[in-house]
């Protein structure tokens, strides 16, 4: 029972991270296409500036929980997905540096360089996270000792690439909607039109990914066994449709929340579909990592649960204050400042 509770906490923390950091990653990719001048670029930086580093706290929390609650999974994931995880780390570092230095850059050349670095550093994490989680859903070639029998190319299979594209499109839509929430005028108009285009591509990709899941994974087994859980994918579908409705009505904040719900429910669809597995083995089911053979001792799980019950509310309270304090539109005076 304790392992199952930790499995749900693990999944929720990853889903929250993707939901929150998704919009600023998407914005980083979109900024070269939506920002037409320095004033627009300053507005884009300010829409993500107060939030991006706080959002990454959830990545630290998700990684920390993986280590504390499921140390075997943590070890096998980092050895199997080493190349992907290191690329994600370098990309996040590049993004952080680009955000800080991009606003201070002098001269057109350096501004262009840092804008390109921001776009690259924002594009790689969602695409690579999508590839990694798609491979987790599908299973990877690990043996009974947790040793990975494959290469980076093994992970770049068609199903995983569609998963990477799905994550990237979810984040791009999320970022375009956030920019529409935080700005007015021509920049908001461009963000709105971009959101409409991305939504169409996202729906097509999500449908393709869902079909591939039926052939490439065992995710649907638990849903067929327990039909009540079908509420999760139904929420994902409904959230995507509601997002489009609110886009059509120019209700940007409501559209952003609907997009948040779609990201959260899509991730949880995959996570819940795994149970009781954490990392399936494509070599033999007996080698798969489960919530039982990957978990820490009951005492460690109880102690860690106490820590989580203390610190997660603190993180939520702090972030809630940040979002409230920096709520509303990006002020004219703010991005007119030199």
Residue with tokens 């390109």: 116
Q: What is the pLDDT of residues 99-124, one digit of tens each?
A: 877 667 677 787 788 888 999 999 99
Nearest CA among 50, 55, 47, 56 for reference residue 28: 47
Cα torsion through 159, 163, 169, 175, rounded to 10: -170
Does the pLDDT at position 338 exceed 50? no
Residue 27 makes CB contacts below 8 A (sequence gap 6+) with 44, 47, 48, 122, 175, 176, 178, 179
pLDDT classification of 328: cutoffs 50, 70, 90: confident
d(CA 70, CA 10): 9
pLDDT classification of 240: cutoffs 50, 70, 90: very high
Q: At what angle do helices 158-182 and 185-216 cross, to 10 degrees?
A: 160
Structural domain boundaries enclosing 206: 2-336
pLDDT at res. 88: 95
Instruction: Count Cα neighbours of 304 within 13 Å in the Cβ-side half-sphere.
Output: 23
Q: What is the pLDDT of residues 132-181, one digit of tens each?
A: 999 999 999 999 888 999 899 999 999 999 999 999 999 999 999 999 99
Bond into 121 cis (ω within 30):
no
pLDDT at res. 206: 95
Residue with tokens 């924002």: 122
For 191, the 3-state DSSP assignment is helix
Do 142 and 148 meet the contact criterion of CB atoms below 8 Å apart?
Answer: yes
**pLDDT mean over 215-232:** 92
pTM of the model: 0.93
Domain count, the chain: 1
């Amino acid at each position: 029972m304790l392992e199952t509770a930790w499995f749900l906490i693990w999944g929720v923390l990853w889903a929250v991270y993707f939901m929150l950091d998704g919009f600023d990653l998407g914005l980083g990719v979109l900024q070269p296409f939506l920002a037409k001048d320095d004033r627009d670029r300053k507005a884009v930086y300010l829409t993500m500036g107060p939030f991006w580093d706080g959002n990454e706290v959830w990545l630290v929390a998700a990684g920390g929980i993986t280590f504390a609650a499921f140390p075997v999974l943590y070890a096998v994931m980092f050895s199997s997905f080493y190349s992907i995880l290191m690329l994600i780390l370098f990309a996040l570092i590049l993004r952080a540096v680009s955000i800080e230095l991009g606003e201070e850059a002098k001269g057109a050349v350096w501004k262009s360089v840092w804008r390109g670095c921001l776009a690259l550093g924002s594009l790689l994490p969602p695409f690579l996270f999508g590839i990694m989680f798609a491979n987790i859903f599908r299973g990877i070639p690990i043996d009974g000792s947790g040793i990975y029998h494959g290469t980076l190319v093994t992970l770049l299979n068609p199903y995983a690439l569609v998963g990477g594209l799905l994550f990237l499109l979810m984040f791009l839509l999320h970022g375009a909607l956030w920019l529409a929430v935080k700005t007015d005028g021509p920049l908001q108009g461009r963000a709105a039109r971009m959101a409409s285009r991305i939504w169409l591509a996202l729906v097509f990709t999500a449908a393709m990914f869902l079909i591939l899941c039926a052939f490439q994974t065992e995710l649907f087994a638990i849903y067929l066994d327990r039909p009540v859980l079908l509420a999760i994918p139904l929420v994902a579908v409904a959230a995507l449709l509601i997002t489009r409705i609110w886009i059509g009505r120019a209700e940007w904040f409501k559209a952003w929340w609907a997009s948040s719900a779609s990201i959260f429910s899509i991730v949880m669809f995959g996570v819940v579909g795994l149970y009781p597995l954490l990392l399936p083995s494509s070599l033999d089911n007996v080698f798969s990592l489960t919530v039982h053979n990957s978990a820490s001792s009951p005492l460690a799980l109880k102690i860690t649960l106490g820590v989580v019950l203390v610190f997660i509310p603190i993180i939520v309270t702090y972030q809630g204050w940040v979002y409230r304090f920096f709520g509303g539109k990006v002020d004219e005076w703010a991005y007119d400042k030199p």
